[in-house]
Every structure is written in C-alpha cells, then in structure tokens.
Structure 1
Amino acid sequence: MKRICVVTATRAEYGLLKPLMSKIKIERDFTLQILATGAHLSPEFGLTYKHIEDDGFTIDSKIEMLLSADTDPGIVKSMGLGMIGYADAFTLLKPNAIIILGDRYEMLAVAAAASIFKIPIIHLHGGEKTEGAYDDAIRHAITKLSQLHFTSTEEYRNRVIQMGEDPDRVFNVGAIGLDNIINQQVLSKQDLERDLGVTFKKYNYQITFHPETLAEKSSKEQFEELLTAIKQQKDSLFIFTKANADSDGRIINFMIDEYVKNNPDHAIAFASLGSVKFLSLLKCCDAIVGNSSSGIIEAPSLGIQTINIGDRQKGRVQASSVVNCESSSSAIIQAFDQVKQYKKENVSLTNPYGSGNTAEKIYCLLKEKLNQRFEAKAFYDKL
C-alpha cells in the first residue's frame, strides 16, 4: 500500500487539491496522508486547516512555519522553519510519494526537504509562466526537483519537457480547479446573500489582489490605484478576499480592512470563503478583479469576466474573457467599462485549461505510475 502525502499551505491550494484527495482517500491501494502548513495554521489567515477537517479529512501533520513578518527576511526565515518541521514530518510519516501544487515558497521548502529524503515528488501546474512574481522561478525549480508532472495545458507540458524532463513522466491533464466547478453544487444567490450578510447590487465584483513580488511599484501603491478605481464605480458591491502570506501581503490586508471600515455600504471582506462560497460568489459576480490565478483559470468556466491587473499573471495562457490592464487607476477604470460592455455582448467562452475531470485523470495515472520504480532522473535532451 502506497502512502501518498498531500502537502497544502493555503486555502486556495487546498480547494484545488480536494477532489484528488477525495479519490486517493477511498483507493484501497493508497493511504492518504495530509501535511498542513503555512497560512492554514495562522489565525490571521483564518485557521483554514479547519476547512480540511470539516470536509472529513484527517490531518496527519501540522507544521508551523509562518512568522508574523511579511518582509523578505521573514519569508526566508519561514522557509527555514518549515524545512525543520518537514524533516520531522517525513521521518514520522515515511511517505512513498508527496503531491504538491504550484509555485509558492512553502512548496519549494517542501520539495527541497523531500529530495534529500529521496521521496518522489508529484507536481501539479508546472511549466506555467507568471513573470511578475518570484513564484515563476520557484515553480521551475520545483519542476526540476520532481519526478512526475501533471500540467494544465499542452503548451505547459512542452515547456516542462523543454526543461529537460522525460516526456514519459509529463502529462497534460487540464486544470484541477475546474473539477470543483463541474462537480460542486453552489449556493443560490439568496442563500449566498444570507451567508455573507450582503445584498447584491446592480454590479458585483469579487476582489483578490496579491503582492506582485517583482514589481518596481510597491504593493501599497498598486493597491491604492485599485481602490481609487473602485471608488468611481456606481451602484456596485465589492467583496474582498484577503491577500496571501507573500511579501507585503499584510499591507494589502490592512488597506482592505480600512477601506471596508470606511465604506460599509459597498464593501465587505473575508479572510477566507472556502471553496463552495468562493465559487458561488464568482458565479453571482460580474467579474473577478485583481491578479489571482482564479481569474485566469477558473473564471472562464463560470462564464464571468476577469480584470487582471499588472504583471503577476503575465505569461499565462488566457481565455478571451480576461481583460488585462496596468496597475493605474485610469487603466483599471477603463477595464471596468470594458467588462460592462462585454457582458452586454454575452460572448460565449472557451477555457484553454480544459473541461474538468482532472482529478480522475491524475488518479488513474498515479495507480499506474506509482507501481513503477523511479530511477534517478536523467536530463532529457530534446533533439
């Protein structure tokens, strides 16, 4: 029986991994292990490990790593604390493989530790580009530490192979986040209004803005531009979900709290909504605004617009529903106008990240590939 350890550090990451975790949990040949770390264990970010437990999963290891500082030294020290904890967890759990998703610094520390323990790494969402954040380099580093790759488009699969990975270990399965959209029953507009304590207006927007960690303009300056643009939108409701635990994330969250306090008539904020409420909200909104990958990957499958601000997602494959703009108030205001016009045109959307069923594809490949021995990797030189 193979022990498969799924590692998760954030609310968004868990929401994506949940369908795959559910399949592994019921497989007789697998034992699901869960390692929760990072923002999951922080009261400031909503203690979202409780969402995992509320969904019926058992967390096998909780690794505290997050410092209260969101400075660059604080992030690096958090990574160091994480690696100490991961060493203890891997010694105890002895997983046969670990599953990690994406490009966050918590996962780089996990991948480095697992490599020293000679634990095969299964990586989701490799090969993508996000040129406005240091996550881009982290994602590619994790690719080189991993033995099995599940990408979300064929272009990304080719990029992983271009990085010297064996094509026989790289599979285009689509974006796993689309499984929730297809399989999860969302709340009605009325139930969502009751649960969130809001009354929807003529226009409704979900706002998620994370630090753009490689930008010359500070996170504070960028977010001020967004708030300036928001103030110009009439008859609109803005539902903020707070920034993640990246460098300067707390600055954004402080500004959100101040804005909501001063504008309770058209703004509300949440540290975390959970998968069901988040998808329900997206379905009720006119657009998702900010720089979250949800606006690039999940939103098109719900038929809603995205206002993608700045360069944090620059380089990712995009649907026609994504409106890109600079992080200036004038450009963001223009994007709001464009979104309203697009809604009137009611253009049908095609999502380049597939149509779902990704967890099932990964699950079937895991059953096949984990029965094979992972030899030491050789660099694949494409002729």
Structure 2
Amino acid sequence: MMRKVAVFTGTRAEYGLLYPLIARLKASPDFELQLIVSGTHLSPRFGETWRAIEQDGFAIDAKVEMLLASDTACGVAKSMGLGTLGFADALDRLRPDYLVVLGDRYEALAVAQAAAVMRIPIAHLHGGEVTEGAYDDSIRHAITKLSHFHFVACEQYRQRVIQLGEQPDSVWNVGALGLENIRNAPRVPLERINEDFGLKLSSPFFLVTYHPVTAADESPSETFHNVLTALDAFPEHQVLFTYPNSDNGGDQIIQMIEQHVAKRSGVAWAVASLGMTRYLSAVEASACVIGNSSSGIIEVPSLGVPAVNVGVRQKGRLSAESVIHVGTSATDIRSGIEQALTEEAIVLAQSACNPYGGGATSERIVDVLLSAGRLGAKVFYDIPGAGTGAH
C-alpha cells in the first residue's frame, strides 16, 4: 500500500536542501508526497518563496501561516504557538504516515511537537550537530528526541544522536542532503542572475549572508556593522547580500543591509532569496562567501570557494579546512577576507575535503522509509556503562 510522506519546509534555505528528497519522493511509486509549507515561504518580506516551490512542479498540500510582524523573542515564541495550532489542523487533515523535518528551526519544532502528540513518526535530518551561538542548537536536540528516524550528515553526529538516547539502528549516516544539489543541480550563468534580479554583478564579488546570533553574548547589530565596515576595505569587490532568517533581531539586519545598499548603489545589492540553483551558481562565481550561515560550513566547501565564518553562531559545527573562522571585530573580519583572497586559500578551497560526504543521500533516505515496518513506542538507549551505576 502506498504510504503518505509529509515534508515540512519553513524557509527558502531548508527547501533548497530538501529539494532532491522531495523530487525523489514525488517520483516514487511507493509514496504519496505531501508538502506542508509555512514560515518565511508565505511572507512577502522574504520573497513569497512558496511560488518557487510551485514553479518547481510541486503541489503544496497545506499552507500554514505562523509569522507575526514582531521579530522579538516573545514574537518568535508566539509564532511557534500559532504554527502548532495550524500544523495540528494540517496533519489531522492530511494524515501522513511519516513527517520529514530538516534541521533546527523553531518552525520545525512547532510542527514536530504537533506530529509527536498525534503519533506521526518523524524522520529528522541533520540531527546531532552543534551550533553554540543559536538557540537552534537546543531545538535541534529537542526534535531528535521527538523523532523515530535520524538521518545525520557524518559519523560524529551519528554518535551524538546515539548519546542522546536514540537506538543505534534508528540512526543513519547519509551525508548532507545539500551536497546532492551540488552534484545534480543545473547552474545559472551570472548574466542570467543579473537579469532575473536587476543586478550588475561581475567578478570579483562577495556573497554575504549574516543571521542574528540568538544564544550567545554577541550583538548581531554590532557584529553586522563590523561586517559592513570590513567590506568597505575592499572597494574593488562588489557585494551581494541575501536576507537573514526570520529570527529575533532579523529585521534590524535587513534594515542595515538596505541602508548599506542605498549608500553603495551600483556596487552592492540585496536579494531576499536567490533560490537554490541561483544561490549555488552565485557561490561558484564569487570570490568568497562571508557571514555565519550553515551553507558556508556545509555546502560552500564542495563548490571550491573559500568561506569566512564570522562569530559564534556556528561554533561547534564540523567544518572543512577551507572555512576561515574569525572573530566579530572589523579587524578580524577584514583579516579573514584578506586570507580568503590569497592564492593559498583559493587553492585549498579547490582541493579541500568536505566532511559532510556527498553521495546519494535522498536515495538512502527513501530506501530506509520504504523498508520501515510498524513503529512502536520509542525506547531510550543507554550507552553501555553510562547512566547505569556501573563503575
């Protein structure tokens, strides 16, 4: 009997990573794909990226509005509550056999907690990772504890999920799903990107994405001001900004981007969302990627481009040698960019080994779901010799 698999997406970046899995599920005769779309996808401020999902040929089975206008911590918490209400209705109507959730966003926690209460088995991607500079770190581990299937990006993360009490035979090291896009997604010429977004980019240029830090002693506005100051030290380079996520403090970052772009007309541009294929293409055409996005850690190393990771948001996440980690001062950021532009860094980026693999991730996930039998209650896994009173 055909099984129904609901895939949740709440942000443009998450959808881009999920694309190969969504496409494989849609093409499979063994599964009925259901898409639940929420978060920034439905927001005009973030580009209404649900339209791109439909343009890719996917039907959206449920749209769940959840974002409030406020980007304060209280506003984000209330958005989670609204999301849970909407997800409960959507899941009750769709009645999926499995729910696929990727990552560590608060939107994902909202849908996961609804699914757990409704006894819908959750397949979680990218568990076991550590990002000490964002409350996403706690959210990721919480989703792990709500989930039955765990698809992690490397062996170190597999061991961490097991350490959290998950049965070893429920945790699969399948690599990072986003690297499948790098292998298979078509590339878009820079001229086409310019045409699509009204830009005038030419090499060399920097691609910049900075997200607010939400769980560490780092001022997002101060750090981003220092990023902008550092960029001004490279007048020969154009700059393309993409918007941050809808975290608390994100609106201020967007305002700072828009003010900077207005002051540097013809040199700097901002795009709410490039989309997956245009983003990968822009990375390949750039001199380096700057900011604190997970893409700089996980995907960019496989594109042969140096990445400058700013501050503590991604602290604790495994990274390739081509990723340059810097502090938050303008001097530190400028030094990191200077290093990324050296011949040594460029050569290293083109040969660096990405610890997140790069195989047939979506195929492996689908195979596991296909072979899954009836799931019973979760049983906590105690690591032998740990937590049992043994000495």
Normalised-by-shorter TM-score class: over 0.9
Listed as ranges, the gaps of 5+ residues in structure 2 are 385-391
Q: How does 1:151-170 map to 2 (within 5 A)?
A: 151-170=152-171
Distance 2:13 2:119 in 1: 28
Q: Deviations over 1:133-164 (max 9, x none)?
A: 00000000000000000000000001000111
Q: Residue 177 of structure 2 corresponds to which residue in structure 1?
A: 176
Amino acid at match of 1:71: T
DSSP 3-state at the match of 1:346? helix
- Retained in 2: the 8 A contact 1:65–1:81? yes
- Retained in 2: the 8 A contact 1:201–1:235? no
159-168 vs 356-365, greater mean Cα deviation: 356-365
Q: Residue 10 of structure 2 corresponds to which residue in structure 1?
A: 9
Q: Residue 81 of structure 1 corresponds to which residue in structure 2?
A: 82
Q: Deviations over 1:41-80 (max 9, x none)?
A: 1111110111110000000000000001100110000000
Q: Residue 130 of structure 1 corresponds to which residue in structure 2?
A: 131
Q: Residue 34 of structure 2 corresponds to which residue in structure 1?
A: 33
- Retained in 1: the 8 A contact 2:9–2:36? yes
> Is 1:359 aligned to residue 358 of structure 2?
no
Q: Residue 194 of structure 1 corresponds to which residue in structure 2?
A: 195
Normalised by the length of structure 2, the TM-score is 0.95
Q: Residue 329 of structure 1 corresponds to which residue in structure 2?
A: 330
Q: Deviations over 1:278-336 (max 9, x none)?
A: 01100101111000000000001100010000010011110000000011100001001
Alignment size in residue pairs? 381
Distance 2:344 2:252 in 1: 33
Q: Residue 286 of structure 1 corresponds to which residue in structure 2?
A: 287
Q: Residue 388 of structure 2 corresponds to which residue in structure 1?
A: none
Deviation of 1:344 after TM superposition, in Å, equals 6.4
- Retained in 2: the 8 A contact 1:201–1:236? no
Deviation of 1:341 after TM superposition, in Å, equals 1.2
Distance 2:285 2:309 in 1: 18
Distance 2:352 2:335 in 1: 21
Structure 1 residues 179 and 84, CA gap change in structure 2 (3 angstroms) = same
- Retained in 2: the 8 A contact 1:238–1:268? yes
Distance 1:236 1:71 in 2: 34
Q: How does 1:306-325 map to 2 (within 5 A)?
A: 306-325=307-326
Distance 1:253 1:324 in 2: 23
Amino acid at match of 2:358: S
- Identity within the alignment, %: 49
Distance 2:204 2:291 in 1: 16
Amino acid at match of 2:45: E
Deviation of 1:12 after TM superposition, in Å, equals 0.4
Q: How does 1:80-159 map to 2 (within 5 A)?
A: 80-159=81-160
Q: Deviations over 1:107-157 (max 9, x none)?
A: 111111111100000000000000000000000000000000000000000
Amino acid at match of 2:107: E
Normalised by the length of structure 1, the TM-score is 0.97
Distance 1:215 1:237 in 2: 31
Listed as ranges, the gaps of 5+ residues in structure 1 are none
Deviation of 1:234 after TM superposition, in Å, equals 2.5
Distance 2:292 2:357 in 1: 21
Q: Residue 387 of structure 2 corresponds to which residue in structure 1?
A: none
Q: Residue 368 of structure 1 corresponds to which residue in structure 2?
A: 371
DSSP 3-state at the match of 2:159? helix
Q: How does 1:213-232 map to 2 (within 5 A)?
A: 213-232=214-233
Structure 1 residues 345 and 15, CA gap change in structure 2 (3 angstroms) = closer
Distance 1:243 1:344 in 2: 26
- Retained in 2: the 8 A contact 1:4–1:32? yes
Of 350, 353, 366, the match for 1:350: 353
- Retained in 1: the 8 A contact 2:154–2:173? yes
Distance 1:165 1:45 in 2: 36
Q: Residue 245 of structure 1 corresponds to which residue in structure 2?
A: 246
Distance 1:152 1:217 in 2: 28
Deviation of 1:28 after TM superposition, in Å, equals 1.5
- Retained in 2: the 8 A contact 1:123–1:150? yes
- Retained in 2: the 8 A contact 1:203–1:236? yes
- Retained in 1: the 8 A contact 2:308–2:323? yes
Deviation of 1:363 after TM superposition, in Å, equals 1.3
DSSP 3-state at the match of 2:76? helix
Distance 1:238 1:356 in 2: 32
Q: Residue 66 of structure 1 corresponds to which residue in structure 2?
A: 67
Aligned CA RMSD, in angstroms, stands at: 1.2
Deviation of 1:171 after TM superposition, in Å, equals 0.1
Amino acid at match of 2:252: I
- Retained in 2: the 8 A contact 1:5–1:32? yes
DSSP 3-state at the match of 2:342? helix
Distance 1:10 1:278 in 2: 14
